[in-house]
Amino acid sequence: MSDRITGRAAAPLLLALALCLLPVQPAPALDLQAPPMTPLAEDGIHDPDVESINSLQDPKVSMKDFPKDRRGEVNWVKTLSQGLIQPRKSVKGDPWEEEIMRTMDLDILMTNTAEMPHVLFPHFQHTEWLTCSNCHFEIFIPQRRANPISMTRILKGEFCGRCHDKVAFSLWTCERCHSVPHPKSPPKWW
Ligand code: HEC
Ligand code: HEC
Ligand code: HEC
């Protein structure tokens, strides 16, 4: 399912990117709805013919009270911080696996953002869900500015795009990454 969303999102996103690369242009605000939540029987994971499927809650019901972002997608960072879910640190309760799930509070400010506000990359919110080796060294060299990250490469599914728009929040909500305005960033149009 995620691939379908990514494919569908990539073309208009490239257009949005092209728009914001032009010298200051008043562009219409993006007003895109999140795709609807897929019922369990249609998600390609659960067997719709097994009777016990009726004993499981559909995402629409189970996630009804979870905080949403402006597109209507579940905001998992808030859902976790408000204590609405308590994810396990490991599937089997393996002590070694639980030990490597440690949070680290280290923000990285990324300033190569043209006229968009700068990007604040928070280690804390990531290490609540992931362990260091999920990113280091395969996706990112653990050193400031050591990675040639760009929006085009993210949209192609590299760097942040390995997860965002797939298993983490979408690339449409620019402001969740581009959260630090600077003197040259225009008023919010995205
Ligand atoms: C998942 C986080 C994330 C989201 C969401 C995101 N960006 Fe980015 N963006 C980045 C990062 C990281 C960079 C590179 C910053 C650096 O290297 O200093 C970047 C760079 C850029 C740049 C600089 C030029 C370039 O090609 O790198 C522009 C323009 C940009 N983004 C526009 C957008 C727009 C418009 C949106 C929403 C439609 C968006 N971004 C959503 C993370 C994100
Ligand atoms: C979601 C991906 C992700 C995870 C998980 C992650 N990091 Fe990082 N880390 C990054 C990114 C992105 C950078 C910045 C790279 C850049 O600026 O080019 C970075 C930078 C670093 C740096 C360099 C800081 C500096 O000042 O130069 C260190 C050290 C680091 N990470 C250690 C860790 C450790 C330890 C963990 C686990 C507790 C961890 N990282 C988990 C993505 C991640
Ligand atoms: C290995 C997967 C992975 C990679 C790579 C990754 N992220 Fe994330 N990111 C997540 C997950 C998972 C969350 C928390 C759950 C969610 O929000 O969907 C998250 C959350 C965030 C948040 C917190 C948002 C908030 O509302 O507090 C920001 C900001 C963010 N990511 C930016 C980035 C940027 C910028 C990059 C690239 C430099 C990046 N991420 C790379 C998986 C990833």
The domain that holds 123 is classified in CATH as 3.90.10.10
How far apart are the CA of 59 and the centre of ligand 1, in A?
30
pLDDT computed for residue 158 by the predictor: 98
Check whether 23 has a pLDDT greater than 70.
no
Residue 129 is assigned to a structural domain of this protein: yes
Task: Give residue 122's domain range.
Answer: 94-185
Residue 69 is assigned to a structural domain of this protein: no
Residue 63 is assigned to a structural domain of this protein: no
Rg (CA), the chain: 19
Q: Residue with the nearest Cα to atom 39 of ligand 1?
A: 174
pLDDT computed for residue 150 by the predictor: 97
31 confidence band (pLDDT: 50, 70, 90)? low
pLDDT computed for residue 32 by the predictor: 76
> Under 8 Å CB-to-CB from 11, ≥6 apart: which residues?
none
Residue 45 is assigned to a structural domain of this protein: no
Residue 35 is assigned to a structural domain of this protein: no
Our count of domains for the chain comes to 1
* H/E segment holding residue 107: strand 107-110
DSSP annotation of 84 reads S
**Cβ atoms of 185 and 111 closer than 8 Å:** no
Ligand number nearest to the C-alpha of 87: 3
pLDDT computed for residue 135 by the predictor: 97
Phi, psi for 121 (deg, rounded to 5)? -95, 115
Residue 9 is assigned to a structural domain of this protein: no
For the purposes of burial, counting CB atoms within 10 Å of the CB of 38, is it exposed (0-12), middle (13-18) or buried (19 or more)? middle
Query: In this predicted model, what pLDDT tens digit does every residue of 126-173 receive, in sequence order?
Result: 999 999 999 999 999 999 999 999 999 999 999 999 999 999 999 999
Residue 115 alpha carbon, nearest atom of ligand 1: 29
pLDDT computed for residue 54 by the predictor: 87
pLDDT computed for residue 4 by the predictor: 45
Q: Which long-range contacts link 36-43 to residues 24+ away (Cβ below 8 Å)?
A: 37/63, 38/1, 43/1
Query: In this predicted model, what pLDDT tens digit does every residue of 45-81 receive, in sequence order?
Result: 899 999 889 899 988 899 999 999 999 999 999 999 9
- Pocket of ligand 2 contains residue 140 by CB under 6 Å: yes
State how far the Cα of 178 lies from the Cα of 60, in Å rounded to an integer.
29
pLDDT computed for residue 26 by the predictor: 52
How far apart are the CA of 44 and the centre of ligand 3, in A?
25
Residue among 71, 153, 177, 189 to mutate when testing ligand 1 (max atoms within 8 A of CB) = 177
Q: Encode burial over 90-103: b for 16+ CB neighbours within 10 A, e otherwise.
A: eeeeeeeeeeebee
Q: Would you say how long the chain is, in residues?
A: 190
